[in-house]
């Protein structure tokens, strides 16, 4: 990552990551007092998913990869809808302490346990003739970060903060390309894709799924619902993201 970008977004990253960590902690506490609270598991999953995504984008790979392990453990618990074992609870409590420690380290030194000094990227300077993008993204960090980078690359960028708002904006603004997150409140990305493909006014607008849900089954499901392409939401993939945007624009 370029040093000016790191400085610009570090405070926002720490602020939002701490908020997600607080949500994780409060829901873990709630679950420990009532182990039938499936919604607490869902909120913990979303919180860890968000910290993972932001950390990888910022180049904090040690923390990002650690959160990926926790996310997978929570996914298994969530999908099975089973109570967490005592060992599982101890693991999730230890995770809270580990993430707290890593965020404190980042705040004081600017680095996590694993230094991330090779994250420089090159932004495309192609003339994009002010094409319009719709970024459907509920995470404030990603909204500001990618909104800035895409506008810097020459796009007009509209932002919707959930799937319901995204559907309305794509109908109102008719963007050239839609960048769609999958995990969102109100209406998730899969539901957006399903509704979009049944709406003749917007079904032809190309969609790039823009998420850190990288499991093959998630990608296949999104494409079966009409997504044109998929890219992992990480800083390393910013230039490939621009390439994919160009490709789906050209295929319209």
pLDDT of residue 118: 34
In the chain, which residues fall in CATH 3.40.50.2300? 132-250
Nearest of 147, 154, 160, 220 to residue 190 by alpha carbon: 220
Sequential DSSP letters for 180-240: E-SS-SSS-HHHHHHHHHT-TTTTTS-EEEEES---HHHHHHHHHTT--EEEE-SGGGHHH
pLDDT at 77: 87
Question: What fold characterizes domain 3-109?
Answer: 1.20.120
What's the confidence (pLDDT) of residue 209?
93
Query: CB-based burial of residue 117 (10 Å sphere; 0-12 exposed, 13-18 middle, 19+ buried)?
Result: exposed
pLDDT of residue 122: 42
The rounded average pLDDT for each run of 10 residues, N- to C-terminus, in the chain (252 residues) is 63 92 95 84 92 88 91 87 82 94 89 53 47 92 86 90 94 95 89 95 94 79 94 73 86 69
Q: What local confidence, expressed as pLDDT, does residue 196 receive? A: 96
Among the four given CATH numbers 3.40.50.720, 2.102.10.10, 2.40.50.140, 3.40.50.2300, the one describing domain 132-250: 3.40.50.2300
CA angle 64, 209, 182 (to 5 degrees): 65
- Show Cβ contacts of residue 182 under 8 Å, excluding neighbours closer than 6 positions: 188, 189, 190, 209, 211, 213, 218, 222
Q: Which two tokens stand for residue 60?
A: 């904090």
Place of tokens 């963007």: 175
Per-residue pLDDT, 120 = 38
Stretch(es) of the chain classified as CATH 1.20.120.160: 3-109
């Amino acid at each position: 990552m370029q040093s000016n970008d790191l400085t610009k977004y570090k405070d926002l990253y720490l602020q939002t990551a701490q908020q997600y960590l607080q949500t994780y902690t409060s829901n873990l506490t709630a679950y420990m007092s009532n182990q039938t609270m499936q919604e607490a598991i869902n909120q913990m999953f979303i919180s860890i998913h968000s910290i993972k995504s932001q950390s990888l984008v910022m180049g904090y790979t040690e923390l990002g990869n650690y959160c990926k392990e926790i996310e997978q453990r929570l996914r298994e618990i969530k999908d099975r809808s089973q109570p967490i074992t005592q060992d599982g609870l101890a693991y999730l409590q230890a995770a809270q302490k580990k993430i707290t420690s890593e965020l404190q380290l980042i705040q004081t030194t600017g680095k996590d346990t694993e230094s991330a000094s090779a994250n420089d990227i090159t932004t495309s300077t192609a003339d994009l003739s002010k094409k319009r993008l719709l970024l459907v993204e509920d995470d404030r960090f990603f909204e500001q970060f990618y909104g800035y980078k895409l506008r810097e690359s020459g796009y007009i960028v509209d932002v919707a903060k959930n799937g319901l708002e995204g559907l309305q904006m794509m109908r109102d603004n008719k963007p050239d390309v839609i960048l769609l997150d999958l995990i969102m409140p109100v209406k998730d990305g899969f539901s957006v894709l399903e509704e979009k493909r049944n709406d003749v006014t917007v079904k032809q607008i190309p969609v790039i799924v823009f998420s850190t849900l990288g499991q093959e089954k998630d990608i296949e499901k999104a494409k079966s619902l009409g997504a044109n392409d998929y890219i992992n939401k990480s800083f390393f993939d910013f230039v490939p993201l621009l390439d994919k945007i160009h490709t789906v624009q050209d295929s319209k």
